[in-house]
Structure 1
């Protein structure tokens, strides 16, 4: 409602803040609710359903907004009216779900998420791979349209929305493709995909190639999808059901914080040294983070093998 009626930047800022709160609730408590609904015998399937639904929705949003903004009158109102209808539908569905009642909160209502001791390694390894992945997709969402317009000559909003959709379609599809693999393999593949994405991004800027930029976006989606699915799967296997939402929240905080800070920093840096140089610097930082994440997963797996 605020987005549709905003008359100032301040109102838009409040709307963005509330959107962030809603997303945080959906990806933390919502994913835990899906895992609860799946039951103890289908934890991996439930993690797949929760993770793939999140990234598929993230892809449909930019595509829908891009198409509506180019084809319908009053796009800034129409888009958000459609979103309100979808949210009302979701509210009805959630209200009718028969979910188990929690044991009640412990401590202050607003607090830093705490993870049960047995699940801390799973959360940390998930963050190590998920954070670089979602940071790379956040870059495509935030600065991708500028790169398309100023470097690659594509100014149509449908192009930007379509690119985001394909990126998250890759994130969705890869999760179904790897659902039978070990968590270690999934996380290592996620780190590799994010690394490949950022290297491809650098090449796309160097050669002003739309095809390479699209490939970088798809690889970024694959990296996020693998990191998110691998992390959620590891968490659901290691954390008690009554602490699952808090563990999910911890992984999301660890992922979304760099995903918010680094693309914003890249934007300021691009204003200072140029879009190409700023994006290249961002890509190098994310590559380093993804490589560190992959090394941590490999070392942990080796330590577990030696202990076994």
Structure 2
């Protein structure tokens, strides 16, 4: 069964009508963008919570990564639930949770204790949305022939747009708006309410196509050797690169920025998302033509981490910007490559769970700022980033060797 046929035959026609027709996938994409906005709007506010609310650096980084603690069970539960109950139903729940998270985080202006709960709820919402959103985009994209190959790029762009626009808006509001610790969350709450209305009216799956019977039992994608030996080992670097660019590098030059730290964070944190989006068309073509995308993307991660180490060592604002751009390119290429592999390996009945497992592995890298902050108490931050670059290089060597072994085995 080809991937296009698999996605098209995932479920029977949904009776709900939509004025978007073949562009119904935009509703799912907008929902993912909204949840991504809510996930990352917290990043540029770390310094503000430290200066205005007395939150320590370790506490702030703990709040940042607590999102990942909620996200992993959201992913692992959300994927199978969406396979059984439908993508739209789970997305509605995720959007509602995301809106609640924004309201709870806004209450953190009065008591920082609730910030932990807000970040945890945001993580659960993101896990549920991202595990079902990619599959939902795939099913709605199947309304147009030949669109299935664009699904990884569409899903990555949707998430990345939210990851970039959320901190940009939050940084600008934190710098210039009154009551910034409240108002920064208002745009996201309004977007979530809008996305809820749109998703409520959207179809759950493909417009046409009978349910196709699988001629024989097929092993789930996560048991495939390529998934275990190649996809999973590379996955944590997807969000490790983004997290270092978002949460580690901007704070390393905070002392040089004075009153403009919020503006700088708001302008720098969208940069990884920007380059992550721009690199995706090239990454998709390279993935289809060559087996070297994963090692090449990890090479970008190595370069970005080394630039980050140089930025920290020299306290260079310019190098922080360059490092964020390069790390963002690595993030975008790695995400497209991983989602494309999962889409190729997974049968429709297992697609949600396969995406969830992959994304849970990617978000392991989102914990990196917390551990980097802890290690920075006993080691130089620049040396920590160099050590991460060495690990990324070792993973690139593993990925290239594993891909060659798998290719030889398939050729036999």
| CA distance in structure 1 between the aligned counterparts of 2:176 and 2:237, rounded to whole angstroms | 35
CA contact (8 A) 1:148 1:160 kept: no
* Structure 1 portions without partners, runs of 5+: 104-113
* Structure 2 portions without partners, runs of 5+: 1-102, 212-218
| CA distance in structure 1 between the aligned counterparts of 2:229 and 2:148, rounded to whole angstroms | 19
Select which of 280, 283, 294 maps to 2:383: 280
Q: State the match for 2:374 in structure 1.
A: 268
Q: Is 1:194 aligned to 2:301, yes or no?
A: yes
Q: State the match for 1:128 in structure 2.
A: 233
Q: Is 1:258 aligned to 2:365, yes or no?
A: yes
| CA distance in structure 2 between the aligned counterparts of 1:137 and 1:295, rounded to whole angstroms | 21
CA contact (8 A) 2:238 2:365 kept: no
Paired residues in the alignment total: 292
Q: Is 1:145 aligned to 2:250, yes or no?
A: yes
Q: State the match for 1:302 in structure 2.
A: 404
CA contact (8 A) 2:165 2:270 kept: yes
The 1:293–1:76 alpha-carbon spacing in structure 2 relative to 1, beyond 3 Å, is same
Q: State the match for 2:319 in structure 1.
A: 212
> Within 5 Å, which residues of 2 pair with 1:1-308?
1-6=103-108, 7-39=110-142, 41-100=146-205, 115-116=220-221, 119=224, 121-122=226-227, 125-150=230-255, 155-182=260-287, 184-260=291-367, 262-273=368-379, 277-281=380-384, 283-307=385-409, 308=411
Q: State the match for 1:107 in structure 2.
A: none
CA contact (8 A) 1:115 1:243 kept: yes
TM-score (norm 2): 0.66
| CA distance in structure 1 between the aligned counterparts of 2:387 and 2:233, rounded to whole angstroms | 14
Pairwise CA distance, 1:191: 0.7
Structure 1 runs of 4+ aligned residues shifted over 6 Å read none
| CA distance in structure 1 between the aligned counterparts of 2:221 and 2:281, rounded to whole angstroms | 28
Pairwise CA distance, 1:193: 0.8
CA contact (8 A) 2:175 2:260 kept: no
The 1:154–1:217 alpha-carbon spacing in structure 2 relative to 1, beyond 3 Å, is farther
Which secondary structure state, in structure 2, belongs to the residue aligned with residue 178 of structure 1? helix
| CA distance in structure 1 between the aligned counterparts of 2:267 and 2:179, rounded to whole angstroms | 20
Pairwise CA distance, 1:214: 1.0
CA contact (8 A) 1:62 1:164 kept: yes
Pairwise CA distance, 1:120: 5.3
Which secondary structure state, in structure 2, belongs to the residue aligned with residue 182 of structure 1? helix
1:167-219 deviation line (CA, Å, top 9, x unaligned) = 21000110023322225333222111111100111122222222221111111
| CA distance in structure 1 between the aligned counterparts of 2:257 and 2:238, rounded to whole angstroms | 23
The 1:222–1:126 alpha-carbon spacing in structure 2 relative to 1, beyond 3 Å, is farther
Pairwise CA distance, 1:119: 4.3
Pairwise CA distance, 1:33: 1.1
